[in-house]
Structure 1
């Protein structure tokens, strides 16, 4: 019974994190939904700090309860894991190019929507896409995901978790299940591989940020 409660608690934490992130996206992408007037910048900044802190807190609290993999242990930075992150960045770039060619090019509906938002809200759009989205998505789709479904350290869980995490990431970016979900799936698996190889979200967040930043170069 205790184990079941622990499981439900972690799921509730992940759902709460996803809801907070979704609402923060609305604040950045569609601020007209909120009557903020001259307080818009202050409210947006305050909400961002609160949401990022809350999501990080939920993840770290989960690790304190159970952490068979040894996630987030010190020291956080070393050359081996930096090298893994660099390999991950190359893999995610090559993987996206290959998969886009395989599905026939073009852009997904999710990307079309983002492109339209960028036309009217370029500044906030870049901040969210390059910095905030990678932070939140890596905590939810990598960190919390493994804390819930693949807590036991073994080779099977590692690779099943990488594939499943990638699919969840793909589905959340393409819920219509179009051909483009394959592209997002591969991207998600690379990020999950970086996380599982380094045992530290800092590296998958960094790779995710660098990849998203490529769209603005």
Structure 2
């Protein structure tokens, strides 16, 4: 009973972190709905940016508290080396290959253009600077903390082979569902990106690496 209560509370907390992230991003998106009302646009944009800063600071703090309480994998305790940076760029190359295959399948008509990316493109056209800035410099921090850092520490904390495997699998699927809620081939592609990011997190034992990989990936979509 105590275990169920603990896990139930963690599920509620994780969903709350996800909610405040989505709320912040939604407020910024709403600002773009008022292109002819600069005062209203500035109002929603300001609220969204303040909400994002507070929410990201809070989630980052909760992640830090988690690691202080339970950190069997020693996340964040290994030094950054040039060898690790070079390996990160190899993983980035793998992500480029994944993106290329995805684009090719869309071009061939095998996959549909993702609805999530369509929404991102529409938002970017409404407020190019702010929405692109959020997508590249803010969203990756939120998503890596929520889908990798906090999620794995809550539900797959044990440092075992199978626990790490299932942790990457489930967190990647949730990441995919967060971008494509339909059970189709597009979900599989988003999940594959989530799996690669999860693998990076557990391989380097430092959330800065998978966040950097996520940033580089999102940067490609806005260039």
Tell me which of 173, 176, 180 is aligned to 1:174.
180
**Does the CA contact (< 8 Å) of 1:10 and 1:62 recur in 2?**
no
| Comparing 92-101 and 189-198, the one that deviates more | 92-101
Confirm whether residue 202 of structure 1 aligns to residue 182 of structure 2. Answer: no
Cα 1:167–1:108 change in 2 (3 A) is same
Distance 2:148 2:167 in 1: 9
Runs of 4 or more above 6 Å deviation: 32-35
Q: TM-score, normalised by structure 1?
A: 0.89
Q: How many residues are aligned here?
A: 216
Tell me which of 72, 81, 94 is aligned to 1:68.
72
Identify the structure with bigger relative contact order (alpha carbons < 8 Å, sequence gap 6+).
1
Q: Corresponding residue for 1:20?
A: 20
Gaps of 5+ in 1: none
1:41-99 deviation per Cα after TM superposition (whole angstroms, max 9, x unaligned): 54343222211101101111222221111112254x22233233212211111122224
Q: TM-score, normalised by structure 2?
A: 0.87
SS at match of 2:158: coil
Distance 1:102 1:121 in 2: 29
Distance 1:32 1:169 in 2: 25
Q: Corresponding residue for 1:110?
A: 116
Q: Corresponding residue for 1:53?
A: 57
Distance 1:81 1:10 in 2: 32
Q: Corresponding residue for 2:100?
A: 97
Distance 1:198 1:81 in 2: 8
**Does the CA contact (< 8 Å) of 1:171 and 1:181 recur in 2?**
yes
1:91-138 deviation per Cα after TM superposition (whole angstroms, max 9, x unaligned): 111122224445624411111111111111111110111011100000
